[in-house]
Amino acid sequence: MPRLYNLVNNDELKRRMYESDEQRTTFSFYQYWNIDDPQAFRDQVFREWAALGLWGRIYVAKEGINAQVSVPELNFEAFRETLYAIPALNGIRLNIAVEDDGKSFYKLKIKVRDKIVADGLDDHTFDATRRGRALQAGEFNAITDDPDTLVVDMRNHYESEVGHFQNAICPEVVTFREALPVVEEMLEDKKDRNIVMYCTGGIRCEKASAYFLHKGFRNVFMVEGGIIEYARQCKAQGLPNKFIGKNFVFDERLGERISEEVIAHCHQCGAPCDAHINCANDACHLLFIQCDACATRYERCCSSACAEFARLPETEREALKPTMTFNGTRFTKGRYKAYKAGGDLVME
């Protein structure tokens, strides 16, 4: 029987993933529905899905499930059968990755949480099932042809920095919880306008659209299936693609290209670039954008100081960690501007 947790350390699991030639399919899914016993449900699906070689990050709560995962291509149909055997999940959409090398996840992690998305809302104060109307790709293109329509990105700033819909409002926020009041204030005097919200796969907008309808916004829409499903429909139906740049994803890939435009810049030299990376100094681990030239110059680190620290013997690094401050200690996921001589990233 599969264990209900992982025993092998992350570095070893990552090494195995990158060295493997196994063909895998990356996808995501979610569903809001009442789960009476989230822990029992979590343990049940861990056993079933681990046996199929599923890897990824799954959150389970009383309100439902939220999953970003990959599975061996040969087991994809078997996984779908086990998923659809759960009545509340029968027939739900699986958002297949747009750009996938199979190197997205390296272990299965299923956690029980209070909510499947941290939104900071008290769901008892409004009807979370009264949501905005979902738009297919063609409908989205049509409604956004109207210049009075407002398109709102409900993702974080480091996501929209590398890609967003044309003319979208992109709040400078770090979390979804932070985005809700910020967007509400930005749109306070626009409650009669058509407002179209979008996110990566749709889950954030289901809750956000219900919240904004509760707050008195009258014409609230959301992109069905988010950016991933929009891109799939545009390709399948030969529709114009209004998304520019790259779709940020929360796995080892850190992004999938939707259009050829590069709209972001290296945080160290300012060159056009939309490749996110975590600082190679594990004591820093800052998420930032780095071009190939700066990756070579700074050894995949966010600064010269981090590069120098990463070269030290492990015992010396461990001894120095408590006494040192790095960019990742001070900054929050890329909230800084390019650039300063010496590779030191600076706050806005």
Tokens coding 344: 């030191």
Q: How far apart are CA 51 and CA 316, in angstroms?
A: 41
Cβ neighbour number for residue 323 with a 10 Å cutoff: 6
Torsion of CA 252, 158, 289, 332, to 10 degrees: -90
Choose, from 170, 199, 291, 301, the residue flagged as catalytic. 199
The helix (H) or strand (E) run that includes residue 310 is helix 304-310
Q: Phi/psi of residue 293, each to 5°?
A: -65, -45
- By the 8 A CB rule, do 204 and 159 touch? no
Q: How many C-alpha atoms does 243 have within 13 Å on its Cβ side? A: 35
Q: How far apart are CA 323 and CA 325, in angstroms?
A: 7
Of 184, 134, 143, 183, the residue nearest 160 (C-alpha): 183
Identify whether 199 is a catalytic site residue: yes
Q: How far apart are CA 201 and CA 179, in angstroms?
A: 17
- By the 8 A CB rule, do 30 and 67 touch? yes
The secondary structure of residue 17, as a DSSP letter, is: H
Any idea which residues carry the catalytic annotation? Answer: 199
